């Protein structure tokens, strides 16, 4: 969706949830020395200036990363995540927020590769400029799902695909499902981390039902809800699906999420996590 810009939502509670999981997955993969591929299908511009946001959009990050940034003392389970953000804000004033490409780049080792897909012209140019000096990173101006299938299987045997669409298109769940099934057939060893919004429309139910009915043998998901549903379109929670989750990552996230939902609460806070297929 070329009208969508993630900048307005950067650092919100969904980003916090998603990026904590991304770090947990990458840390688990990088415990082994062999090279990994990280493929980000909806990369955006890579990083965001929170102070450049219009005032009406600033409440999103203020109810997200800003709440964790202001915790004193900072919880140990957030140390890894907050240190990555601190590296972009050396004066300790929260201004710049890393998107998933910047987080992956900071964790990347010399033997790993980061492949970034972005179709929006302005976002692509910003991302390309941000990553231009890193030989480990390739930036592609191409459709997320076309690129996902075309770039798999990689030469690396291990790695993760990050899938984070805007869901502004009504048929997004079906497009995502079709693409992920094809991708999994090409690269069954890969980890797939899929974000989805919790909306009053119940869009996520279609996605979860489709994934559960798919060919995947290991499927785990987690959700946080931080406010009551309002209207037809308001985001009230965040969900993640992991296909082939690395060892111990579901347990790690399950332990972190109750406190996270409490810190990010806007009136309510609930957590849900379960295996949809595979280990119980």
Please list the active-site residues. Answer: 164
| Dist CA 186 CA 181 (whole Å) | 9
8 Å CB contact between 162 and 242: no
SS3 (DSSP) at 70: coil
| Dist CA 224 CA 240 (whole Å) | 9
| Dist CA 7 CA 52 (whole Å) | 9
Taking alpha carbons only, the member of 235, 242, 227 closest to residue 273 is: 242
| Dist CA 173 CA 187 (whole Å) | 20
| Parallel/antiparallel/unpaired status of strands 158-163 and 36-40 | parallel
Tell whether omega for the bond before 2 is within 30 degrees of 0, i.e. cis.
Answer: no
The per-residue DSSP string of 185-208 comes to HH-TTSEEEEEEEE-TT-HHHHHH
């Amino acid at each position: 969706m070329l009208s969508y810009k993630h900048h307005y939502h950067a650092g919100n509670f969904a980003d916090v949830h998603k990026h904590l999981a991304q770090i947990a997955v990458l840390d688990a993969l990088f415990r082994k020395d062999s090279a990994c591929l990280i493929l980000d299908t909806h990369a955006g511009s890579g990083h965001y200036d929170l102070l450049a946001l219009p005032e009406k959009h600033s409440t999103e990050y203020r109810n997200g990363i800003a709440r964790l940034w202001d915790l004193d003392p900072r919880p140990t389970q957030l140390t890894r995540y907050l240190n990555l953000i601190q590296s972009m804000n050396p004066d300790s004033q929260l201004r710049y927020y890393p998107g998933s490409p910047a987080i992956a780049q900071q964790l990347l080792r010399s033997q790993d590769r980061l492949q970034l897909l972005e179709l929006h012209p302005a976002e692509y140019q910003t991302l390309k400029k941000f990553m231009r000096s890193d030989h480990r990173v390739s930036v592609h101006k191409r459709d997320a799902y076309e690129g996902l299938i075309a770039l798999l299987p990689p030469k690396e045997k291990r790695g993760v695909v990050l899938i984070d669409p805007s869901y502004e298109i009504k048929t997004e769940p079906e497009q995502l499902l079709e693409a992920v099934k094809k991708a999994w057939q090409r690269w069954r060893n890969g980890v797939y981390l899929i974000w989805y919004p919790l909306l009053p429309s119940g869009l996520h139910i279609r996605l979860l039902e489709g994934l559960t009915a798919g060919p995947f043998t290991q499927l785990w998901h987690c959700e946080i809800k931080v406010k009551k549903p309002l209207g037809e379109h308001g985001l009230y929670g965040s969900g993640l699906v992991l296909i082939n989750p690395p060892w111990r990552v579901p347990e790690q996230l399950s332990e972190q999420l109750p406190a996270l939902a409490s810190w990010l609460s806007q009136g309510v806070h609930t957590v849900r996590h379960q295996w949809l297929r595979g280990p119980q």
